[in-house]
Structure 1
Amino acid sequence: MKLLTSIFSLLLLIFVGNAAQAQRKGYWQQAVDYTMNIDVDEKAYQYDGDMTLLYTNNSGRSLPKVYFHLYFNAFQPGSMMDHRLQTISDPDGRMMTKAVGTNARESRISLLKPDQIGYQEIKSLTYNGASAKFKVSGTILEVELPAVLADGATGEFKLTWKAQVPEQIRRSGRNSREGVALSMAQWYPKMAHFDDYGWHLDEYVAREFIAPFGNFDVTIHLDKDYVVGASGKLQNPKAVKGYVAAAKPKADKSGKVAWHYKANQIHDFVWAADPKMQVDSAKTDGGVTVYTVFLPTDKAVVENWKTALGLATQFFDYSSSKFGAYPWPTYTIIQGGDGGMEYGTATLITGGRDLKGLVGVIFHEAAHSWYQHLFGINETVDEWFDEGFTSYVEELAFQHLFEKKGASQTNPMIGAYRSYYKLALSGKEEPMSLLADYYKTNYAYSNASYTKGSVLVEQLGYIIGQENLEKTFLQFYELWKFKHPTPNDFKRVAEDVSGINLKWYFNLFLNTTRTIDYAIEATADGKFALRNKGDLAMPVDVWVEYEDGSRELFYIPLREMRGQKPAEGFAIYNNIKRTVLEDWFWTKPTYALPLSKPAKSIIIDPSQRLADIESGDNIWTK
């Protein structure tokens, strides 16, 4: 086993080294190497932390300052997260409570007492052995270096801190509603992300994250009766509870045992713990060990988790074949938190669900292993690139593995399309390119990032062809694994694979709230034309059945594409003549259909992948 582990580590280093050659010329990224020791006081919900952090600067410039995130500080009355809850029109219900004697809702953060709040208090901080000046503002720690961190150099930071775990309100916290004692997400001073755009110093208001890739070596000292689930690979399974049959943990004089974890090339580390946790595991065909760590509250719950574990192993094999091989040796599904949230090689999810709900949330969070954790997408800037692509992966896997559907003849994302149509017609839609924190409503944020984001992916397949979309995913994996790609990087790969220009599509679908709306018009002389009633032009597939029973598929490229998609293998197109017509200008509102004989019926996009907000005029029947 030690030999296999060493071989895997060597292959991972080679893998990562080869991955350093990104498609974008001049690309660079920072690197971190954390070593942490945590001593937990379970009764007080506090812990002491000791960290050594090696931070490598590859930016091409010297750094006089660095920044860390102290996320637990958000869980204090008067924080920006607290104020956001009090002012947004549709706050997250999990974070609110009814005021006594009224129907009003109050921020749960505003009601926290001193022994319930969260905090991370820095006790000491040195840089290369010298004391460094620092100041804390909300959830950001600013560190003034005693000497600059030069380009190409690695600096050593040593931090000690005292922290209190807040009441479980959002993701992190103590005593979740399902009874998990400790859900430890965003629990350590986390180096902020620095890239071509500068430092990313977003105050924590309950949205998501970005961080540099690196290695983690974490030791958690905890009461011997607790069971832990965490990121990475457990180094001492025989010395702790739950992972080896009949193991008898050896506690120190204080009654604690050390849980030692290591993980390479991840950008976030999570753990959760409770004395009642149960551990199960299984291996994928590809050799990944998947763990479940959950509360066995009753027989039905245990059975659901057992079934979900088997499906989770299938998920990793399926997704590896479609989107690139999962590169880490483990993945851990941990009950905790307040819903579902992805972290490096692990997730926190609520576990008291029916089987369908449990499998759905596991598939979604596990899909983030690609779209946010293998590709370090900036969730604070390009939230749709993270959540939308993940929702796309989740839905394909769910239909294939859980519902056991065959290849769809039409749009497998039709549910997301319907949610997007409601958003587009609601008057609340905002551009998908808006920074995640700044949406006016949670409704607009959720539907833009999750549903319109997955519409963008499926509709891209409509534009460039399904086979080209699948090739794009795999080529993107080869170029951008273990790096921080932007949406433009994905667009460039899709353009290279398909030979189609996509500037117009990504610009208009992301940066505006323009909508697609086509119609079939019959003229007085029995001829037919298409009309673009919307303000976002697209290529169009038109299916025609003639009165004599024959059928024809007309494909009309958009001039801006400067190319054409190939014929697609959808079952509905089998044995149908395909005719490619002259391209359509976005400046021209109508397009005449050159029908060669009388038509019985005409349909715009029978695959239903064109996101047309009004489909009632997309069908003509004699």
Structure 2
Amino acid sequence: MRKLLIFGFFMLSSVLMFAQRAGYWQQAVDYRMEIDVDEKNYQYQGKMDLKYTNNSNQALSKVYFHLYFNAFQPGSMMDHRLSNISDPDSRMTKNLGTKENPQYQSRIATLTEDQIGYQKIKSLRMNGQPTTYKIDGTLLEVLLPQAIAAGQTADFEMEWSAQVPEQIRRSGRNSSEGVAFSMAQWYPKMAHFDEFGWHLDEYVAREFIAPFGNFDVTIHLNKDYVIGGSGKLQNPNQVKGYVKKPKVSPVNGKATWHFKAENIHDFAWAADPNFVVDSARSNGGVTVYTVFLPTNKEVKENWKTALSLATEFFDYTSAHFGTYPWPTYSIVQGGDGGMEYGTATLVTGGRNLKSLVGVIFHEAAHSWYQHLFGINETVDEWFDEGFTSYVQALAFQALFEKREIPAPNPVISGYRAYYKLAMSGKEEPMSLLADYYNSNYAYSNEAYSKGQVLAEQLGYIIGKENLQKTFLQFYDIWKLKHPTPNDFKRVAEEVSGINLKWYFNLFIHTTRKIDYAISKVSDQEITLTNKSDFAMPIDLLVTYADGTKELFYIPLREMRGDKPVENFAVYQGVRRTVLEDWFWTKPTYTIRLNKKAVKVEIDPTQRLADVESADNSYTAQ
């Protein structure tokens, strides 16, 4: 018993040692906002009381806010990006040429004064004293009357006016599906400050990062509108949509909506007079709301089915990736595709059932990889989108396709997209900042596809069960914090006992490709060749002439450890032999045989991301 207690203490100490980066801290925000919406002119007046806690080890003489609506003005950086990237987003451009000879024009470039977006600061005080500030594109730089000392909380009071832009990207008015207001990135948002400094990315339609905090939001809007948004609605009995007859009469023709949310880092909402609201509760206690336009019978049926599956999704994902910590989640029709926000998503709703469920699962999965873990999407977009796509794929196969036995590689479609990218000549290092890819094609396939591959291939390296343990251990340590990819790597190393420096470095920071081949098979031996500059461990399944099988496992020297036996159907009843490790400096490896091989396969589970698999199998003629 004493030995068990000592071992348990050692394991707990080991977890605590790598639980957080040395000296880890994170800033905190507490927003209280009240806005008054002029729905006829698509404008609103806003008041904010923001408590900002400086948990860093330095005093701050400046702070910064993001003013995202300012991107939707002719001449903005987003406007110029659309005009100069090789494959601009079709939602944000017009093709003035032909399909063969496209000539893209930014939709932002043609916005008139009453169509643009803006956020104009009317006043800004800190602790009751006026501040000095300037606006530069989508950033507000604020020089403080006195520095915010380490450990101090400052109180900012702001008033601003805003105009909601035409729906072009994520936020806006009058979406293509007829939603009146899609309110994302709608408020002046405190910029993120961490050990790497201030994150001051101009908004050019990509990703976000922000500190965790609490939101208390009051919205005054025409009484005929229904709102779906982040957090928990505090007064459902006083507004349209949530009860048949609101108990309190509107003031000046407007209803008041009051939302609260804790420990989130973004708040979004959408509104339309024709929205309907439905809800259901998961077995784990999460109340899921759907807020959508019931345009026809099929749409209504699809949303009803999607709601039921969404409740199952939260139970499934909580079991496999860590418990969802908030009481509600709202799926709101709006925006221009799908985008995640704190405890809510905006998605386009006029989809077939498979597409609707797919986009809901993806955006809801962001509740883990982005919102539970405040990943810096502007820097590590693949950690956000790739891991989210991984979670989505597993849940979709289990709940929508109802597979009793999961596929050995559940994200094989992501692998195929990555192979196409890798051979296209357009691949760039996955560590590139999200805004800086030369093409949307490269960005999408790096972030969504190669990110999935990194996760699944990690399971190939450390073992499927160790990957599952890593996800749950990572949740326990890093929930509601701001982890980096290295933090995930460290958890995987501690769980598996395998060194992963080489893998994360080469797969993230380079465009090197994996390419192995079975170069020789004889009665006495098998020779494998690494044709690439990216070394990996090898699972080699050999079928002998007498019908028996043997799995040869060849670790890589850099791993400094072995993965455990994996429980795949293809390996059931197969003897596993662990061979001497392979050096990355040695291009070939020879396996001695005691009997004749008639079939040889490198990784039958297809988790090794080998860009040319034609030479990964051999069958005797």
**Same fold by TM-score, threshold 0.5 exceeded?**
yes
**Deviations 1:143-197 (Å, cap 9, x if unpaired)?**
0000000000000000000000000000000000000000000000000000001
**Deviations 1:277-333 (Å, cap 9, x if unpaired)?**
000000000000000000000000000000000000000000000000000000000
Describe the SS at the equivalent of 1:59: coil
Tell me which residue corresponds to 2:52. Answer: 55
Describe the SS at the equivalent of 1:250: coil
Tell me which residue corresponds to 2:140. Answer: 141
Instruction: State how far apart, in whole Å, the 2-side matches of 1:445 and 1:560 are.
Output: 30
- Is contact 1:409–1:570 with CA below 8 Å preserved after alignment? no
Trace 1:281-360 onto structure 2 (pairs within 5 A).
Answer: 281-360=279-358
How far has the Cα of 1:248 moved from its partner? Answer: 5.2
- Is contact 1:288–1:331 with CA below 8 Å preserved after alignment? yes
How far has the Cα of 1:200 moved from its partner? Answer: 0.1
Instruction: Report the residue type matching 1:303 in the other structure.
Output: E
Tell me which residue corresponds to 2:10. Answer: none
Tell me which residue corresponds to 1:535. Answer: 533
Tell me which residue corresponds to 1:463. Answer: 461
Instruction: State how far apart, in whole Å, the 1-side matches of 2:209 and 2:326 are.
Output: 20
- Is contact 1:140–1:201 with CA below 8 Å preserved after alignment? yes
Describe the SS at the equivalent of 1:537: coil
**Residue in structure 1 matching 2:436, options 426, 438, 455:** 438
Trace 1:545-564 onto structure 2 (pairs within 5 A).
Answer: 545-564=543-562
- Is contact 1:224–1:249 with CA below 8 Å preserved after alignment? no
**Residue in structure 1 matching 2:27, options 22, 25, 30:** 30
Describe the SS at the equivalent of 1:366: helix
How far has the Cα of 1:410 moved from its partner? Answer: 2.3
Mark the runs of 5 or more structure 2 residues left unpaired by the alignment: 1-15
Instruction: State how far apart, in whole Å, the 1-side matches of 2:588 and 2:199 are.
Output: 46
Tell me which residue corresponds to 1:239. Answer: 238
How far has the Cα of 1:524 moved from its partner? Answer: 7.0
**Residue in structure 2 matching 1:77, options 47, 59, 74:** 74
Instruction: State how far apart, in whole Å, the 1-side matches of 2:81 and 2:146 are.
Output: 37
**Residue in structure 1 matching 2:62, options 41, 51, 65:** 65
Instruction: State how far apart, in whole Å, the 2-side matches of 1:230 and 1:573 are.
Output: 48
Trace 1:99-498 onto structure 2 (pairs within 5 A).
Answer: 99=96, 104-247=103-246, 250-252=249-251, 254-498=252-496
- Is contact 1:384–1:432 with CA below 8 Å preserved after alignment? yes
Instruction: State how far apart, in whole Å, the 2-side matches of 1:287 and 1:34 are.
Output: 26
Instruction: Report the residue type matching 2:264 in the other structure.
Output: I
How far has the Cα of 1:24 moved from its partner? Answer: 1.9
Tell me which residue corresponds to 1:87. Answer: 84
Instruction: State how far apart, in whole Å, the 1-side matches of 2:381 and 2:137 are.
Output: 23
Describe the SS at the equivalent of 1:124: strand
Instruction: State how far apart, in whole Å, the 1-side matches of 2:369 and 2:543 are.
Output: 41
Distance 1:140 1:20, change over 3 A: farther
Instruction: State how far apart, in whole Å, the 2-side matches of 1:269 and 1:126 are.
Output: 23
How far has the Cα of 1:99 moved from its partner? Answer: 3.5
- Is contact 1:371–1:386 with CA below 8 Å preserved after alignment? yes
Provide TM-score, normalisation by structure 1: 0.96
Provide TM-score, normalisation by structure 2: 0.96
How far has the Cα of 1:406 moved from its partner? Answer: 2.2
Identity of aligned residues (%): 72
- Is contact 1:334–1:348 with CA below 8 Å preserved after alignment? yes
Tell me which residue corresponds to 1:620. Answer: 618
Describe the SS at the equivalent of 2:46: strand
- Is contact 1:554–1:579 with CA below 8 Å preserved after alignment? yes
Tell me which residue corresponds to 1:96. Answer: 93
Instruction: State how far apart, in whole Å, the 2-side matches of 1:524 and 1:479 are.
Output: 50
Describe the SS at the equivalent of 1:417: helix
Instruction: State how far apart, in whole Å, the 2-side matches of 1:569 and 1:236 are.
Output: 51
Instruction: State how far apart, in whole Å, the 2-side matches of 1:222 and 1:228 are.
Output: 9
Instruction: Report the residue type matching 2:44 in the other structure.
Output: Y
- Is contact 1:88–1:440 with CA below 8 Å preserved after alignment? yes
Instruction: Report the residue type matching 1:343 in the other structure.
Output: Y
Trace 1:1-20 onto structure 2 (pairs within 5 A).
Answer: none
- Is contact 1:241–1:249 with CA below 8 Å preserved after alignment? no
Tell me which residue corresponds to 1:4. Answer: none
Instruction: Report the residue type matching 2:421 in the other structure.
Output: L
Distance 1:263 1:524, change over 3 A: closer
**Deviations 1:36-94 (Å, cap 9, x if unpaired)?**
00000000000000000000001100000000000000000000000000000000000
Instruction: State how far apart, in whole Å, the 2-side matches of 1:195 and 1:600 are.
Output: 58
How far has the Cα of 1:245 moved from its partner? Answer: 3.1
Instruction: State how far apart, in whole Å, the 1-side matches of 2:245 and 2:618 are.
Output: 70
Mark the runs of 5 or more structure 1 residues left unpaired by the alignment: 1-18
- Is contact 1:234–1:262 with CA below 8 Å preserved after alignment? yes
- Is contact 2:523–2:595 with CA below 8 Å preserved after alignment? no
